[in-house]
Chain A
Amino acid sequence: MLETTSVGSFPKPDYLVKARADLQKGTLSRPELVRLEEQATREWIRFQEDIGIDILVHGEMERGDMAAFFAERLDGYGISGLVRSYGNRYYRKPIIESTLVRPRPLTVEWHRWVQSLTSRPVKGMLTGPYTMCDWSFDEHYGSRREAVLALAAIVRDEARDLEAAGARYIQIDEPAISTRPDEIDLAIEAMAVVTDGLAATTISHICYGDFATIYPHILSLPVDVLDLEFANSQFANLEIFRRPKFTKIVALGVVDVHSHVIETKDQIKQGIRRALDVFDPELMWIDPDCGLKTRTPQQAKDKMKVMVEAVREIKQEMNLN
């Protein structure tokens, strides 16, 4: 009840940002970069433990863009030049150039290592097949359906390997799922391929879309938890979920990851109280709107701390401790 978690990414500390640039320039070796990625990961795990987060994330210190990270590791993908995502932010959009193949498990070794750092559960983090397709250029498959289902088989294999490695929570992010309401059935079909037979608690994060166009259909997405952003809209989108009743666990985004302003404890508590009027408290988790990687490390920490404090007080007020 009101478990705290994070969506996925944390900001990279300055030394890691510099190291990644140095690798590009050829002045740093890959083993040295990996050493620094491990250092940063340890720091974020320790931070989450210290503030009392219930379900941890590894922070994605070894990842850049959430689609490109997987594309770079799959056979059949190429990486394009830079395209803009918003404002002055750019990413390298992957290109499907031939039949996609997963040559080996992509995230399992890192997950196993991160889980060894803490006794608390750490989520296995994957990008979902619909979003991988939507955020790629496709020069190979004949249709979007063909590409999405090819990716679903790959993500399914990765999810099964994560579960075999001990992951109790597996998050399959589908932020693009709300972009084409007419394709929601395809996204649901693909997620069914991924989660079929998994015993782990499954989560899907969806954000910055028009939820009204996909609700309540989205309740058919075969995962246990839907992780949604609310702070970005000042919780106005809560009303969408009032009827029909929300039937899954909701991970409620309560801090805006695209604002440098740190929310006050009272603002977050007010948002949670409003959400308690819509969702069953036993089916609520609390987290930020999205990955915090676009904030500075200090802003991310401050947002996480105030979020945890707000949840603690709400629990006290509700005698939930």
Chain B
Amino acid sequence: MFETTLVGNQPKIFDDPARPNLRLARNRFDKKALSAEELEEVTRATIQATIADQIDAGLDRVTDGRIRWDDPVTPFAAAHDGFAIGGLIRYFDNNVYYRRPTIDGPVRFVRSAVAEDFRLARRMTDRPLLASVCGPYSLAKFCTDQNSSDGALLTDCARLVRGELEALAAAGADWVQLDEPFLGRTPSEIHRAVETIAAATRNVGVKTFVYIYFTNIAPIIDRLWDLPVDAIGADCATAPGNFEALLHGPRHRGRGLGIVDARTTRLETTERLTATLDRLIAAGAADWPSCFITPSAGLEFLPHKNAMAKMRRLCESVRQVTGAVAVG
């Protein structure tokens, strides 16, 4: 009934000095004290360690932790035509920054930014994997003023993301998450946003899961159910109303519920989480085609120790209500 997974990044560094030290490796690479091959070796070891952590915590479906991603947009801006990497800007309401890409030409798919890493992660574990891409609407918004809306750019971004989804399907992915943090920030654009996402996902050959974080989706939820995707998910910590909005949706639609707050070290109690899960069961979650139970956002906002505690608590709580045995 419930499938536990992550919806974004994982901390790239560990507390244990015996584990891979990607931060040090990147510093040494920048100073030309480490070769590209040596950096790649540390990066792969970090991805392996991240997957091991998720399995240890008991997640049903794991991710590569987005270890190569500095943010949700620049990996795609770097891999495809039409983008130039610009100045630093804060990543929503977080003390985290990214370099906002600008559009400097026609946006065109060149080669997948993520398919090769999916194959790498596939070789590292037999556990089901959740791949992820930046959603087409947010890809356009990340690159421009969030209040602007350029129809041609949205069309091009949809085509680009469709290319990524097809590449992931060819690489063997069964589920792909599309990050759409800008969805809901401009409710008046929801029609255009839905069209853009639909152009990327309709009949694309892989199951798609649109995930929205840091914002309130209640005003747009009715339109989201129209999307040709297999699941809609949202951050239920930042906007508690999102939980209710997802709870009361159509029975035949899959969901993802970010019920553990990824942006605070305060650890949820098992009692609180199991009560939340009981509400999902009472609402008929067993009949939904899928129900991902996740943190509210990527766990890289937390130190590694706290991220692990959140993952473990999430999995323990699900096991408690379903009676499942730990598989980690």
Instruction: List residues of A whose CB falls within 8 A of some B CB.
Output: 80-88, 90, 93, 95, 134-135, 137-139, 176, 178-180, 208-210, 212, 232-234, 256, 258
Residues B88 and A85 in contact, CB atoms below 8 Å apart: no
Query: How far is A187 from B266 in the complex, measured between Cα atoms in Å?
Result: 23
A180–B88 CB distance below 8 A: no
Contact A81 B70 (CB under 8 A): no
Given that A80-B265, A95-B265, A208-B90 are known contacts, is A85 also in contact with B27, CB under 8 Å in the complex?
no
Decide: A179 and B90 in contact? CB cutoff 8 A: yes
The answer to whether A82 touches B303 (Cβ under 8 A) is yes
Q: Hey, which chain B residues are within 8 Å of A90, CB to CB? A: 13, 23
For A81, give its contact among B71, B145, B305 (CB under 8 Å). B305
Closest 5 CB pairs of A and B: A81-B303, A86-B97, A232-B87, A179-B93, A137-B265
B23 / chain A contacts, CB cutoff of 8 Å: 82, 88, 90
Would you call B162 an interface residue if the criterion is a C-beta within 8 Å of the partner chain's C-beta atoms?
Answer: no
- Which residues on the A side are within 8 Å of B96 (C-beta)? 84-86
Pick from B26, B71, B94, B303: contact of A80, CB under 8 Å = B303
Alpha-carbon separation in the docked complex, A93 to B300 (Å):
12
A131 nearest CB neighbor, chain B only: B95
In the complex, 28 of the A-B residue pairs with CB atoms within 8 angstroms, ordered by the A residue number, are A80-B306, A81-B15, A82-B13, A82-B23, A82-B303, A83-B300, A83-B301, A83-B302, A84-B12, A84-B13, A85-B96, A86-B88, A86-B96, A86-B98, A90-B13, A93-B303, A137-B264, A137-B265, A138-B266, A139-B265, A139-B266, A176-B95, A179-B93, A208-B88, A208-B90, A210-B90, A210-B146, A234-B87
A208 proximity list for chain B (CB < 8 A): 88-90, 97
Cβ of B92 and Cβ of A179 under 8 Å apart? yes
Report whether B303 and A179 are in contact in the complex, using a CB–CB cutoff of 8 Å. no
B233 CB within 8 Å of chain A: no
CA distance A203 to B222 in the complex (A): 46
Question: A137 contacts B11, CB within 8 Å?
Answer: no
Tell me whether B304 is interfacial, beta carbon within 8 Å: yes
A210 to B89, CA, bound (A): 8
Given contacts A88-B23, A208-B97, contact A178 B303 (CB under 8 A): no
Contacts A80-B306, A82-B303 hold; do A256 and B95 have CB atoms under 8 A apart?
no
In the complex, residue of chain A having the shortest beta-carbon distance to the beta carbon of B145: A212
Interface residues of B in 282-325 (CB under 8 A from A): 300-306
The answer to whether B93 and A180 touch across the interface, beta carbons within 8 angstroms, is: yes
CB distance from B215 to the nearest CB of A (A): 11
Contacts of A81 in B (CB 8 A): 15, 303-306
- Chain B residues numbered 13-55 whose CB sits less than 8 Å from any CB in chain A: 13, 15, 23, 26-27, 30
With a cutoff of 8 Å between Cβ atoms, the chain A residues found around residue B27 in the complex are 88
Q: Which of B12, B70, B88 is packed against the most chain A CB atoms within 10 Å?
A: B88
Residues of B within 8 A of A86 (CB): 70-71, 88, 96-98
| A interface footprint on B84-114 (CB within 8 Å = 1, 0 otherwise) | 0001111011111110000000000000000
- Nearest to B264 among chain A residues (CB) is A137
Partner of A256 from the list B87, B93, B147 (CB cut-off 8 Å) is B87
A179's closest neighbor in chain B, by CB?
B93
Interface residues of B in 130-159 (CB under 8 A from A): 145-147
Residues of B within 8 A of A80 (CB): 265, 303, 306
Judging by beta carbons under 8 Å apart, are B264 and A83 in contact?
no
Least distance between B289 CB and chain A CB atoms (Å): 35
Which residues of B57-103 are within 8 A (CB) of A? 70-71, 87-90, 92-98
Complex contacts, A84 vs chain B, CB 8 Å = 11-13, 96, 300
Besides the contacts A87-B70, A93-B95, A209-B90, what 17 more A-B pairs have beta carbons closer than 8 Å? A83-B11, A83-B302, A83-B303, A84-B300, A85-B96, A86-B70, A86-B71, A86-B88, A88-B23, A137-B264, A137-B265, A137-B266, A138-B264, A179-B94, A180-B93, A232-B88, A233-B87
Q: Complex Cα distance A84/B299, Å?
A: 11
CA distance A82 to B147 in the complex (A): 34
In the complex the two chains form, is A178's CB within 8 Å of B90's CB? yes
Contact status B88-A258, CB under 8 Å: yes
Q: How far is the CB of B129 from chain A (nearest CB, A)?
A: 23
Once the chains are docked, how many angstroms separate the CA of A178 from the CA of B94? Answer: 11
Question: Shortest CB–CB separation between residue B146 and chain A, in angstroms?
Answer: 7
Measured CA separation A178–B89 after assembly (Å): 11
Give the residues in chain A near B12, CB-CB below 8 Å: 84
> In the bound complex, how far is the Cα of B263 from the Cα of A180, in angstroms?
15
User: Do A85 and B305 contact each other (CB < 8 Å), given the known contacts A137-B265, A210-B89?
Assistant: no
Docked CA distance A153–B13 (Å): 36
Q: Give bound CA distance, A90 to B96, whole Å.
A: 10
The answer for the CA separation of A264 and B103 in the assembled complex, in Å, is 25
Complex: A209 Cα to B94 Cα, angstroms: 10
- In angstroms, Cα B93 to Cα A234, docked, is 23
Contacts of B13 in A (CB 8 A): 82, 84, 90
User: Distance in Å from the Cβ of A8 to the closest Cβ of chain B?
Assistant: 16
Write the chain A residue with the least CB distance to B300.
A84
The answer to whether B89 and A258 touch across the interface, beta carbons within 8 angstroms, is no
A263 to B157, CA, bound (A): 34
For B303, list chain A residues within 8 Å (CB).
80-83, 93
Q: How far does the Cβ of B30 sit from chain A's closest Cβ, in whole Å?
A: 8
What's the least CB distance linking A34 to chain B, in Å? 27
Q: Which residues of A contact B302 (CB under 8 A)?
A: 83
In whole angstroms, what is the CA distance A88 to B306 when docked? 20
**Cα–Cα, bound, A88→B93 (Å):** 20
Chain B residues near A95 (CB-CB < 8 A)? 265
Residue numbers in A under 8 Å from B147 (CB-CB): 212
